[in-house]
Amino acid sequence: GQNIDQPTEMTATEGAIVQINCTYQTSGFNGLFWYQQHAGEAPTFLSYNVLDGLEEKGRFSSFLSRSKGYSYLLLKELQMKDSASYLCAVKVGQAGTALIFGKGTTLSVSS
């Protein structure tokens, strides 16, 4: 079966750093994606990892360890607008297209 785990909720304050973890056990692996989704809106792409290591994009960084089935999304200099759900998704499947999503982590940023 496919299993992707993330914490359900996290809270943080403006200006802080937060790390959202994701562990996965899937039949096949063709990369891991992080998406941000504000309430009532579509998911927007944040990052992609397929090799072990850290990918940095401005305030956002994502890390992958394939041997451990583990990833994290690091958000720095938090802003109120970062309050959203963060979805970890693993690309699996024969053609490598199907995305299996975790349940998402709701991040609340307070002032």
Partner 1 sequence: DTEVTQTPKHLVMGMTNKKSLKCEQHMGHRAMYWYKQKAKKPPELMFVYSYEKLSINESVPSRFSPECPNSSLLNLHLHALQPEDSALYLCASSQDNTGRVEDTQYFGPGTRLTVL
Residues facing 37 on adjacent strands: 85
Smallest separation (angstroms) from partner 1 to the CB of 91: 7
Q: Which of 75, 67, 69 has its CA nearest to residue 100?
A: 69
Q: φ, ψ for residue 65 (rounded to 5)?
A: -130, 105
Distances, alpha carbon 63 to alpha carbons 24, 43, 54, 80, 101, in Å? 13, 20, 4, 23, 17
Residues at the site binding partner 1, with contacts judged by CB under 8 A: 30-31, 33, 35, 40-45, 48, 50, 87, 89, 91, 93, 95-104
Using the minimum distance from each CB to partner 1, give the nearer residue, 48 or 60.
48
Nearest approach, Cβ of 106 to partner 1 (angstroms)? 8
Query: Of 70 and 101, which CB lies nearer to partner 1 in the complex structure?
Result: 101
What is the amino acid identity at position 48?
A: Y
CB of 94 to partner 1, least distance (A): 9
Question: Closest approach of Cβ 93 to partner 1, in Å?
Answer: 7
Between 33 and 72, name the residue whose CB sits nearer to partner 1.
33
Residues linked to residue 45 through DSSP beta bridges, in sequence order: 35
